[in-house]
Structure 1
Amino acid sequence: MPIIEVNLLEGRSAEDKERLIHALTEAAISSIAAPRESVRIILREMQAEHFAVGGLSFAAKAAEAALRDA
Protein backbone atom coordinates (compact mmCIF):
# COMPACT_ATOMS: atom_id res chain seq x y z
CA MET A 1 0.00 0.00 0.00
CA PRO A 2 1.80 3.16 -1.14
CA ILE A 3 1.30 6.21 1.05
CA ILE A 4 2.26 9.44 -0.68
CA GLU A 5 2.64 12.54 1.50
CA VAL A 6 2.76 16.00 -0.08
CA ASN A 7 3.60 19.22 1.74
CA LEU A 8 2.49 22.37 -0.03
CA LEU A 9 1.76 25.98 0.72
CA GLU A 10 -1.91 26.72 1.26
CA GLY A 11 -3.91 28.62 -1.29
CA ARG A 12 -4.59 26.14 -4.05
CA SER A 13 -8.14 25.46 -5.12
CA ALA A 14 -10.00 22.24 -4.32
CA GLU A 15 -9.92 21.46 -8.05
CA ASP A 16 -6.12 21.83 -8.16
CA LYS A 17 -5.75 19.48 -5.21
CA GLU A 18 -8.09 16.92 -6.80
CA ARG A 19 -5.99 17.03 -10.00
CA LEU A 20 -2.83 16.47 -7.94
CA ILE A 21 -4.41 13.55 -6.09
CA HIS A 22 -5.49 11.99 -9.38
CA ALA A 23 -2.07 12.47 -11.00
CA LEU A 24 -0.21 11.01 -8.01
CA THR A 25 -2.56 8.03 -7.89
CA GLU A 26 -2.08 7.37 -11.60
CA ALA A 27 1.71 7.66 -11.18
CA ALA A 28 1.70 5.05 -8.41
CA ILE A 29 -0.46 2.73 -10.49
CA SER A 30 1.69 3.01 -13.62
CA SER A 31 5.11 3.03 -11.96
CA ILE A 32 4.79 0.31 -9.31
CA ALA A 33 1.59 -1.48 -10.38
CA ALA A 34 -0.17 -0.47 -7.18
CA PRO A 35 -3.84 -1.37 -7.09
CA ARG A 36 -5.88 1.86 -7.25
CA GLU A 37 -7.69 1.03 -4.00
CA SER A 38 -4.38 0.72 -2.15
CA VAL A 39 -3.01 4.17 -3.02
CA ARG A 40 -3.18 6.67 -0.14
CA ILE A 41 -2.51 10.38 -0.63
CA ILE A 42 -1.98 12.80 2.26
CA LEU A 43 -1.91 16.51 1.47
CA ARG A 44 -0.50 18.75 4.18
CA GLU A 45 -1.05 22.43 3.63
CA MET A 46 1.00 24.96 5.52
CA GLN A 47 0.90 28.69 5.92
CA ALA A 48 3.56 30.71 4.12
CA GLU A 49 4.91 31.79 7.53
CA HIS A 50 5.65 28.14 8.33
CA PHE A 51 7.98 27.42 5.40
CA ALA A 52 11.33 29.08 4.87
CA VAL A 53 14.29 28.91 2.52
CA GLY A 54 17.56 30.72 3.03
CA GLY A 55 16.55 32.18 6.39
CA LEU A 56 13.30 33.83 5.25
CA SER A 57 9.78 32.50 5.33
CA PHE A 58 7.79 32.57 2.12
CA ALA A 59 5.54 35.18 3.76
CA ALA A 60 8.54 37.43 4.41
CA LYS A 61 9.79 36.92 0.85
CA ALA A 62 6.35 37.82 -0.51
CA ALA A 63 6.26 40.96 1.64
CA GLU A 64 9.71 41.99 0.39
CA ALA A 65 8.66 41.41 -3.22
CA ALA A 66 5.50 43.48 -2.70
CA LEU A 67 7.57 46.37 -1.36
CA ARG A 68 9.95 46.19 -4.34
CA ASP A 69 7.05 46.10 -6.79
CA ALA A 70 5.16 48.99 -5.15
Structure 2
Amino acid sequence: MPIINVQLIEGRPPEKIGEVIENITNTVSETLDAPKENIRVIVTEIPKTHWGKEGKPVSER
Protein backbone atom coordinates (compact mmCIF):
# COMPACT_ATOMS: atom_id res chain seq x y z
CA MET A 1 0.00 0.00 0.00
CA PRO A 2 1.72 3.22 -1.14
CA ILE A 3 1.60 6.07 1.35
CA ILE A 4 2.59 9.48 0.01
CA ASN A 5 3.29 12.42 2.32
CA VAL A 6 3.04 15.93 0.89
CA GLN A 7 4.01 19.06 2.84
CA LEU A 8 2.78 22.44 1.62
CA ILE A 9 2.80 25.96 2.98
CA GLU A 10 -0.71 26.67 4.25
CA GLY A 11 -3.13 28.87 2.37
CA ARG A 12 -4.27 26.95 -0.67
CA PRO A 13 -7.99 26.44 -1.25
CA PRO A 14 -9.44 23.02 -0.38
CA GLU A 15 -10.21 22.40 -4.07
CA LYS A 16 -6.50 22.64 -4.92
CA ILE A 17 -5.58 20.23 -2.12
CA GLY A 18 -8.17 17.85 -3.53
CA GLU A 19 -6.65 18.16 -7.00
CA VAL A 20 -3.20 17.38 -5.63
CA ILE A 21 -4.53 14.27 -3.88
CA GLU A 22 -6.34 13.11 -7.02
CA ASN A 23 -3.40 13.76 -9.35
CA ILE A 24 -0.88 12.06 -7.08
CA THR A 25 -3.20 9.08 -6.64
CA ASN A 26 -3.65 8.72 -10.40
CA THR A 27 0.08 9.04 -11.11
CA VAL A 28 1.10 6.52 -8.45
CA SER A 29 -1.63 4.12 -9.55
CA GLU A 30 -0.51 4.25 -13.18
CA THR A 31 3.22 4.14 -12.38
CA LEU A 32 3.09 1.28 -9.87
CA ASP A 33 0.11 -0.55 -11.34
CA ALA A 34 -1.51 -0.21 -7.91
CA PRO A 35 -5.26 -0.02 -7.34
CA LYS A 36 -6.35 3.48 -6.36
CA GLU A 37 -8.14 2.14 -3.28
CA ASN A 38 -4.77 1.02 -1.90
CA ILE A 39 -3.11 4.43 -2.23
CA ARG A 40 -2.99 6.89 0.68
CA VAL A 41 -2.05 10.55 0.30
CA ILE A 42 -1.41 12.64 3.41
CA VAL A 43 -1.27 16.41 2.96
CA THR A 44 0.20 18.42 5.82
CA GLU A 45 -0.07 22.19 5.69
CA ILE A 46 2.74 24.02 7.42
CA PRO A 47 2.11 27.52 8.82
CA LYS A 48 4.17 30.22 7.11
CA THR A 49 5.70 31.01 10.50
CA HIS A 50 7.05 27.44 10.66
CA TRP A 51 8.63 27.32 7.19
CA GLY A 52 11.98 28.96 6.61
CA LYS A 53 13.71 30.11 3.47
CA GLU A 54 17.04 31.92 3.27
CA GLY A 55 17.22 32.07 7.05
CA LYS A 56 13.85 33.70 7.61
CA PRO A 57 10.30 32.46 8.13
CA VAL A 58 8.25 32.68 4.94
CA SER A 59 5.76 34.82 6.88
CA GLU A 60 8.38 37.61 6.99
CA ARG A 61 9.08 37.57 3.26
TM-score range for the pair, normalised by the shorter chain length: over 0.9
TM-score normalized by the length of structure 1: 0.83
Please identify which structure carries the higher helix content.
1
Q: CA deviation at 1:54?
A: 1.6
CA distance in 1: counterparts of 2:58 and 2:34, whole angstroms: 35
How far apart in 2 are the matches of 1:34 and 1:54? 39
Which residue pairs with 2:19 in the alignment? 19
- Give ranges in structure 1 of 5+ residues lacking alignment: 62-70
Give the structure with higher Rg (CA). Answer: 1
Task: Name the TM-score, length of structure 2 as normaliser.
Answer: 0.94
The count of aligned residue pairs is 61
**Counterpart of 1:54?**
54
- Percent sequence identity is 33
- Structure with greater contact order relative to length (CA < 8 Å, sep ≥ 6): 2
Structure 1 segments of 4+ aligned residues over 6 angstroms from their partners: none
| Structural RMSD (CA) | 0.7
Aligned to 2:7: 7
